[in-house]
Every structure is written in C-alpha cells, then in structure tokens.
Amino acid sequence: MGISQNNQHLRCSVFPTRPTTMAKNKIKRTKNAKKQQVATRARGIIQSRVPRLLHTLDTAALEWARLLTDPCNGRLTYGCYPVGGAGTVLMRLEADLIIGTGATDTACVAAFIPGLGLALNNTVGMATDASGSTFSIAGGLTPGAAFLAANGMAIRAVAACTQVTYPGTELNRSGVVSIGVMSAGTLINNIITGEGGGNVGTTPAGVRIATQHVQRMPQEKMECKWFPGDEDANPSSYINRPTAYAQQLNGRNAIVLSASGFPTAVGIRVRNVGVYEISLGSSANTGQVQAVTPPRSSNTAGNVLKFLADKDPQWYLDAANKVGSVIGSIIDYAATGVKAAGTAVNALALIAA
C-alpha cells in the first residue's frame, strides 16, 4: 500500500494531467474576446476620424462631389440624379458681366438659377441700399445663353457657381456684398410682370438678410457654389425663352447676391459658371429629354450633399470670412430630406432625413 501511495503522489506532483478539451476552448475564447475588444476599440477610433457617409459614396458620387466643390475646374461628370439622360452631352459654360454701372447706381441685386439656365438682375438702377426693383432676365449673366437658345432642346444643371470681384481701384474699394443659396421659389413674386410674378420690389438690404454670407467688398474674389433642389433633377426646356419662369421656379435652387455702398457707377463684376447636361436639338422639338438611362450611381443627391456638409457645413462658400447667417431662407432636396434650418446661425444646416 505504501508503494501505491508513493506512486500516486509522484503521479500527481511530477506528472500532472493535461488540460481537458473544454479547458482549452475556454482559454481560446478568452484570448479571442480580448482580441475582439482591441479590434473594436481600434475600429471606433478610425471611424471617428473618417467623415460620415464616406464609405457610402461610390466612385461616380465622389466625382460629382468634387465637381460640385469646383465647378470652374473640376472634371466633368454626371450628377447623381434618380434618372439619367440618354443622348446628352456635358458642357461647361460661363458668363462675365459688370452690373450696377448706372450713372447713380451704388447698389444692385442678381440671381443665377442653373436648373433653368437663367440669370436675373435688378430691372432699374439702385441708388441706395433701400432702393427697390424687380428682377429681370439678364442674358449677359446667363452662361452660354445664345448657344443654349439655339441648340439646347433641354438642359439639366450638374454644377454651378457665382464669383464676385470688385472692378474699381483699391483706393476706392468700398461697400458690402452678400451671397448665398436659396430656393428660387422665393423670387416668384419678383419676376417681371407677364411671367406670373407680382412685380414686388426687392431691395439689396432685403436680399442681404436672406443670404448666408455677408462681407465687405472683396479684395480679390468671393465665390458661392450651387447645389440642387428637389426639382433640379428634372430637365428644363430651353426653347421659347422667356416664358412662364415663375411657374418653374419652385423647388429649384438659386445663387442670390446683393451689393451696396460701392462708388457711383463702378458696380461689381459677376462671373457665372454652369456645368450642364444638354440634350441638343432644334427649337422645333418639345424641349424634353427623349430617352432615359439608369442612374450612374447608387447614391442620391442627398447622400452627396450630406457627405459634403459633414466635411464642411459651409463647403459651398469660398470667401475671406465664411461665418454668416441664415435668416428665413429655405433650401430643400425633398427626395432625401436635405434642408436648411430657417434660423440656423453661422452655417447652412443640411440635415438628412
């Protein structure tokens, strides 16, 4: 019996039994759990440093985002609209004009509605910040007006911008400029009589409080980029202009500006650039895109705008001081819920539904 006890003692102390399979699995699970925790923490850190929606934009959407932020130089590409147009061509067009040069002018207002290929400015001269005037069609401010009138059966805006510079001497540079994006529907009552408008007066001061950015007359360049409203996905006819603009403005976004306090008759230089998807044809056609193709991207316009807003809430402004205000302006992309808060401060709030 003594020998058996000794052998048992030796067996227990010198030759311990190996862990069971269940014990091994428990150890492995513990190690894997710790690795998973480390990986999850690392993933969270990385994701927190990457703009939201980055992973949701495909190549076509990213290309359009680049063009929206640089309409003047960006590579031409199609927009992320619900339906693609067949048989269309992409073109970058521009217009450059000095406005507000009347003998007594010290102020002016202007608007650019890319979705209609339409530019407007004040009908009569403005001598003060409180002077009223209706908007009238400005062919000289409309990018490619003559070409589109002769060849554009239908157009759809892809990207656009408005640039403001001061044409006078540095010694006399004075005044204030406001600029921003708003629903073109806010201009309905200011379209010239005969096109559905009420001929309501618009003052530079009134336009200023509706825009997102205000600053002193720029020393170099002040720029505002356009982005689409819910109706801008639909092509517009470019024949038989000008007709019934007021009925077409709702749901289309516009770049609107005002300037006041500049030296008499000096004015401001306005450069409008538009990138268009154009269905070429004669003015005898109906003005509609004749065929459609599937969307070129799985993303929507709202996805792209949300992505840009996440990177910079004021991505559409390029100025010395980007801090401005939104008072009473409404901008929307109804299909995806992108809108501007009516009283947002210091930024244009783009909210995805």
Task: Give yes or no for residue 20 having a pLDDT over 50.
Answer: yes
Instruction: Among 269-278, 308-317, 321-330, name the one with the lowest average pLDDT.
Output: 321-330
pLDDT tens-place string over residues 109-134: 999 999 988 898 888 899 988 888 87
Which pLDDT score is estimated for 282? 57
What average pLDDT does range 311-337 have in this prediction? 52
The pLDDT assigned to 286 comes to 47
DSSP 44: H
pLDDT of residue 166: 96
Q: What is the pLDDT of residues 285-319, one digit of tens each?
A: 444 444 456 677 888 899 999 999 988 888 998 85
DSSP state of 262: P
**Which of 30-34, 113-117, 325-329 is the least confident region?**
325-329
Nearest to 116 by CA among 295, 314, 6, 248: 248
What pLDDT digit, counting tens, does each position of 73-108 carry? 999 999 998 877 667 889 999 999 999 999 999 999
The distance between the two most distant Cα atoms of the chain, rounded to a whole number of Å, is 127
pTM summary value: 0.73
62 by Cβ neighbours in 10 Å (0-12 / 13-18 / 19+) ranks as: middle
**pLDDT value for 48:** 45
Distant-in-sequence, close-in-space partners of 23: CB < 8 Å, separation ≥ 6: none
Q: Are the C-beta atoms of 301 and 270 separated by less than 8 Å?
A: no
Poorest-confidence range of 20-24, 106-110, 170-174? 20-24
Please give the average per-residue pLDDT across 339-344, as a whole number: 30
| Mean model confidence pLDDT for the chain | 75
3 state DSSP class of 258: strand
pLDDT cut 90: percent of the chain above it: 36
Domains of the chain: 54-339 (2.60.120.20)
Grade residue 250 by pLDDT with cuts at 50, 70 and 90: confident
Residue count of the chain: 353
Q: How far apart are CA 122 and CA 108, in angstroms?
A: 6
CA dist., res. 312 & res. 195, Å (int):
38
Is pLDDT of 224 > 60?
yes
Predicted confidence band at 188 (pLDDT cuts at 50, 70, 90)? Answer: low
The pLDDT score that the predictor gives to residue 28 is 66
What token pair was written down for 317?
Answer: 């402004």
| C-alpha 346 chain-centroid distance | 17
Distance CA 125, CA 105 (A): 6
Q: What are φ and ψ of residue 323, in 5° steps?
A: -80, 120
Lookup result for tokens 């009473």: 328
